[in-house]
Amino acid sequence: MLSRKHKHVLLKFFSMFSVVRGYNILIVVLAQYLTSIYILAHDKPLREVLFDVNLFMIVLASSATIAGGYIINNFYDSEKDLINRPIKSRLDKLVSQNTKLSFYFVLNFIAVVMASYVSFKAVIFFSCYIFGIWFYSHKLKRLPFIGNLTSAVLTITPFFAIFMYYKNFETVIFVHAVFLFLMISMRELTKDLENIKGDLAQDYKTIPVVYGEKVSKIMLTVLLLLTVIPTYLLLFNFEIGYMFIYFYFCIALLFVFIFVLWKSNTKTHYLILHNILKFIIVAGVFCIVLINVDLVLNRI
């Protein structure tokens, strides 16, 4: 049996894990390594990629920066989250705001230190990334269009870091990036629809608040149609191995998404739509291995 003190410590740990969304960070770490192995450095020996200290430092710096970003976002959105996510908010409040802010500065310092191991350019990159996340949480998040665009860009920035490290400029990489960017943009707009009640109460000028749900649905439909372009190119213009299964599955899910979207009018409906998009993005991480299922065996 755990003592009361140990239970309290455990609850605080889960609270901080919830604040930094540790599960999302683990997915990003996996995505960065799989992207390196199967896409950005597919011509390098597996051992060289896995045991590359510079890549490891970039991944750790990304993780620390993202965790810090979730903390500062939680700090600015605490009142809004009480309305949109009351259960999660109660768990998050087990850790004081002062502790969260202290942890935020420590994480950002660690990120810069790790980046300094790689190069001075990496320090500049992650310093700008940290500032960008803070500025988005403090100002840009409350603005329509700009907030959504900035959020999508910041989400794919960790992948841009390893892209710049490997300097692989193959066209297929840009097409994958466009697909991911569009999916994330759809997810951000869907989250705005899901959180419209809290955004209205806290005067966040999101697209659904300013322009209404119908315009938001039209924009989501346009974004969905735009995803057809990179999907078509990846299926018929590039060699993606068995990953074609993933993209055909995405097409089926997006048909479900658009059907449910135009029937939706409650928070529960938008939560379902958000989870569909989140599933597509997370599934895409694990399906990277389908690009070449024999790649690992051939490169050991």
Domains of the chain: 18-167 (1.10.357.140), 170-300 (1.20.120)
Give the model's pLDDT for residue 221.
Answer: 97
- Nearest by Cα to 187 from 209, 213, 220: 220
pTM of the predicted model as reported, rounded to 2 decimal places: 0.92
Determine the Cα–Cα distance for residues 100 and 231; give it in Å rounded to an integer.
40
164-165-166-170 Cα dihedral, nearest 10 degrees = -10
Give the model's pLDDT for residue 254.
Answer: 96
Which run of H or of E encompasses 284? helix 267-286
Determine the Cα–Cα distance for residues 254 and 259; give it in Å rounded to an integer.
8
Reported confidence tier of residue 298, pLDDT bands at 50, 70, 90 = low
Determine the Cα–Cα distance for residues 110 and 134; give it in Å rounded to an integer.
16
Q: What single-letter DSSP state applies at residue 140? A: G
Give the model's pLDDT for residue 273.
Answer: 97
Reported confidence tier of residue 30, pLDDT bands at 50, 70, 90 = very high
Q: Judge whether residue 26 has pLDDT over 60.
A: yes
CB atoms within 10 A of CB 12: 14
